[in-house]
Amino acid sequence: MEVRVVNVRKEFERFPALHDVSLDIRSGELIALLGPSGSGKTTLLRLIAGLERPTKGAIFFGDEDASQKSIQERNVGFVFQHYALFRHMTVADNIGFGLKVRHGATRPSGQEIRRRALELLDLVQLSGLEKRYPAQLSGGQRQRVALARAMAIEPKVLLLDEPFGALDAQVRRELRRWLRDIHDRTGHTTVFVTHDQEEALELADRVVVMSQGRIEQVGTADDIYDTPNSPFVYSFIGESSSLPVKVENGEVWIADRPIGLQAPHVPSGEAVLHFRPHDVELLDGCSGCIAGTVAASRRVAGTRRVELEIGGERQRVEIELPVDHPAAQKSRVAFRPRRWKLFPTS
């Protein structure tokens, strides 16, 4: 099911949590809402589910306006960070709950409900645990039961709120692969919220980066990482370094020296240069480059990360050097970013 969020605004007691957000979610897509806490990602997910009502705007499931429908009518599968399983029910009863509460002719027979529950239990690889109670399961198992329960109602969309947030790193990685696998097999339109960028970039078809109640950028992992469209996305996703610069006649300057970067389409004035610490070219001489003295150096896995002090104002910037690079404390290093982006200071 295709989901469209159209100009949605949400306020909590006059405090805006979302400003005018629009988003198209394609049918069958696995999409991640990524952002720091307070960015509005969970609010957006809850609005799609119907757990919150938008202050303004509408949400469409296909051509239907879902914002007029109650939670019960929307038929969404929602998975909570802390599982929210019914602890007085067995695993099988938990999964069958959504079918059991249906009315009249839409409710399958007891046998059919049980068959469906066992089938889903098999899908989430927990066969044989149907008689257990949630208290007897591990965190990872509980979350898989929660997912099976959400899928039992054949939801139009599957919504997951930090589904792996309460699990330890090992289980997280395992479940991530497993969720991708389940999605590929079942093809549910799936939206999940996370603050873990690795999780979002690895798992999702497209990533929605959010900050302060706004969508900053929507795109594939490649789009988001390689061509961030705002300073926020640049610094939030992956490692990044930034330097205040000046643009004059399409050339980038630091203090009184041009650094050899051409920016013909950027208007003259103050700007901030962003680049990835590992995506730099080291230079010997320096006519048109960024040069600085090494202020600190750390060994990080396969590379060495150094902090340079640039120019008279001692701006600090981080770059990565090969481990065998001779640079030591106080030695001068010159470099030029290979890939970079300028954002005018407003």
Partner 1 sequence: MTTAPVKAGWRFKQPSVIPGFGLTLGFSLAYLTIIILIPLSGLVWRSAALGWADFWAIAADRRTLNALKISFGTAFLAAVVNVVFGTVVAWVLVRYRFPGRRIADAMVDLPFALPTAVAGIALTTLYAPNGWIGHLLMPLGIKVAYTPLGIVVALVFIGLPFVVRTVQPIMEEIDKEVEEAAATLGANRFQIITRVLFPGLAPAIITGFSLAFARGVGEYGSVIFIAGNLPFKSEIAPLLIVIRLEEYNYEAATAIAAIMLALSFLMLLVVNLVQTWSRKRYG
Q: Which residues bind partner 1 (CB under 8 A)?
A: 49-51, 71-72, 74-78, 80, 82, 84-89, 97-98, 101-102, 133-136, 146, 149-150, 152-153
The distance of closest approach from Cβ of residue 66 to partner 1 in the complex, given in angstroms and rounded to an integer, is: 13
Residue nearer to partner 1 on the CB measure, 21 or 146: 146
The distance of closest approach from Cβ of residue 145 to partner 1 in the complex, given in angstroms and rounded to an integer, is: 12
Residue nearer to partner 1 on the CB measure, 1 or 333: 1
Per-residue HEC secondary structure of the chain comes to CCEEEEEEEEEECCEEEEEEEEEEECCCCEEEEECCCCCCHHHHHHHHHCCCCCCEEEEEECCEEHHHCCHHHHCEEEECCCCCCCCCCCHHHHHHHHHHCCCHHHCCCHHHHHHHHHHHHHHCCCCCCCCCCHHHCCHHHHHHHHHHHHHHCCCCEEEEECCCCCCCHHHHHHHHHHHHHHHHHHCCEEEEEECCHHHHHHHCCEEEEEECCEEEEEECHHHHHHCCCCHHHHHHCCCCEEEEEEEECCEEEECCEEEEEECCCCCCEEEEEEECCCCEEEECCCCCCEEEEEEEEEEECCEEEEEEEECCCCEEEEEEECCCCCCCCCCEEEEEECCEEEEECC
Residue nearer to partner 1 on the CB measure, 74 or 176: 74
The distance of closest approach from Cβ of residue 97 to partner 1 in the complex, given in angstroms and rounded to an integer, is: 6
The distance of closest approach from Cβ of residue 71 to partner 1 in the complex, given in angstroms and rounded to an integer, is: 5
At position 217, the amino acid (one-letter code) is: Q
Residue 47 neighbours by CB under 8 Å, 6+ apart:
5, 8, 10, 18, 53, 54, 59
In the numeric block, which tokens belong to residue 59? 């949400």
Residue nearer to partner 1 on the CB measure, 150 or 263: 150
**For the chain, what's the residue count?**
346
242, 272 in Cβ contact below 8 A? Answer: yes
Residue nearer to partner 1 on the CB measure, 101 or 323: 101
The distance of closest approach from Cβ of residue 197 to partner 1 in the complex, given in angstroms and rounded to an integer, is: 25
The distance of closest approach from Cβ of residue 72 to partner 1 in the complex, given in angstroms and rounded to an integer, is: 5
Residue nearer to partner 1 on the CB measure, 84 or 294: 84
The distance of closest approach from Cβ of residue 120 to partner 1 in the complex, given in angstroms and rounded to an integer, is: 13
Residue nearer to partner 1 on the CB measure, 47 or 76: 76
Residue nearer to partner 1 on the CB measure, 77 or 292: 77
The distance of closest approach from Cβ of residue 160 to partner 1 in the complex, given in angstroms and rounded to an integer, is: 12
Q: CA 167 to CA 2: how far, in whole Å?
A: 30
Residue 247 dihedral angles phi and psi, to the nearest 5°: -110, 125
Residue nearer to partner 1 on the CB measure, 150 or 291: 150
The distance of closest approach from Cβ of residue 143 to partner 1 in the complex, given in angstroms and rounded to an integer, is: 12
